[in-house]
Structure formats: structure tokens, C-alpha cells
Amino acid sequence: MAAATNGGQKVSARLRIGLPPTAWIDTVSTAFPTATFRLLAGVPTECGAMHLGEVRAERPAAVADALRDHPAVVEYENLHATTDRALARYEAEETGLYEFVEHAGVVPDYPVVVRNGWFTVDITDTRERVRAIRDGLEAAELPHELVSIVALHDDDRRVTPRQGEALDVALQAGYFEVPRESTLAEVAEVLDVDTSTASGLIRRGVGTLVEAARAGPRGHD
């Protein structure tokens, strides 16, 4: 998570950005438009970038095969698979995300989510830096939208990585929909925890987000 260094007000912003059509993940994600790709961690390597990623789809094996067989993916290792998700470690030659991060001077809050040609990234930095990132996206002619922006204060509690993962899984599963599209037990199974732990993670994460929203304005710049 990046820290503000220029004295401006810190914010937590969520950006949804269109993938360049030349990006390999754009090719795979648009071929499976209902699949959700979650980049859980990633680091640049000499040949490109190493990723730990999860796919959630009706046919995760087919999506995993497309990932493995893509010419840009030079190494692929399946770590875990179920009927609706696949977890894998893979190395790709392209480094577009990391070039974006290096140019913007920020560190994204994982997971980075890709779906049907768009990726969603959370960034914690100053409001001025977020505006500069959007200006850079405009200059690069990349379609994008500011999904949300929340003002933070130094004494704000933050959502922990585990709480963030629980909230993301619950959101993707439709747990917050009315009526709910998944049960707490199903969310807990994805997180590999019991229902009590899953409930606590979700409850504390939601509470933290509500407190952050009450602490400052939320809206579009």
C-alpha cells in the first residue's frame, strides 16, 4: 500500500481501467467474459512477471488451459482447483501492470481484479496523485472510470489484507446482493476457513469501510 509523500490528503481510490487490446490477459478475459481473474500477488522477473492468480468461472479448467497455452505465458503451475475456481502460479512475458505502477509511482492494493477486458485496482495515495494517474490514463487514451474515492485520516483503521480478501470473495459471490446469491458457508469454503471466521472477517471489514466512509467525502473527482 503506497503512502502519501507530498503532504496531500490521503484517499483510497478504486479505478476501473480498460486493458490494451495487445495485452495477453485482455485476450483471455474477453474470450471468457463471465470469468473473474484475481491477481493475488505479483513480482517482476528478468523475463517478465511472476503471478499468483485465481480464476473463478463456470468452467475454470477451460480458462486455466487458455492461460497455460497462451504464447505470453512461459511457465504455468496449477496449485489448486475446484468446480468453480482454479489457483495457479504462472510467469508471463508481459509486464504492463508493473510498467503502469512504476510510471504512476504507486503500489496497488492486491488483489487486482480482471473481468472481460477491464481491470479494477485499488490505490491508497493522495487525491492529487490519483488525479495525476487519471490524467496519465487520459493521455494514454485508455478508457477508465473512478469507481469510488474515500478520504482517509491518519488515525483511520484500515481493512486488513485478510478482511479485504473476505470482502472481495463475498462481493464476487453475490453475498451482499438482495436476495443473497451465495451463503456464508460458500464464502467460507472459498476462503478455506470456518463460517464463524468468515463472518468475523466480513463484519470487521464492513465496519472499517463504514467508518472510513463517514470520515470523509465519497464521490467522483
Q: How far apart are CA 119 and CA 15, in angstroms?
A: 8
Half-sphere exposure of residue 58: CA atoms within 13 angstroms, side-chain side: 3
pTM for this structure? 0.64
Is residue 92 within 8 Å of 75, Cβ to Cβ? no
Of 65-69, 106-110, 130-134, minimum mean pLDDT range? 106-110
State pLDDT tens for residues 118-158. 989 888 888 888 888 888 888 888 899 998 888 766 544 57
Of 101 and 26, which is predicted with more confidence? 26
The one-letter code for the residue type at 60 is P
Tell me the average pLDDT across 39-44: 82
State pLDDT tens for residues 168-182. 899 888 898 888 889
- Answer yes or no: is pLDDT of 167 > 70: yes
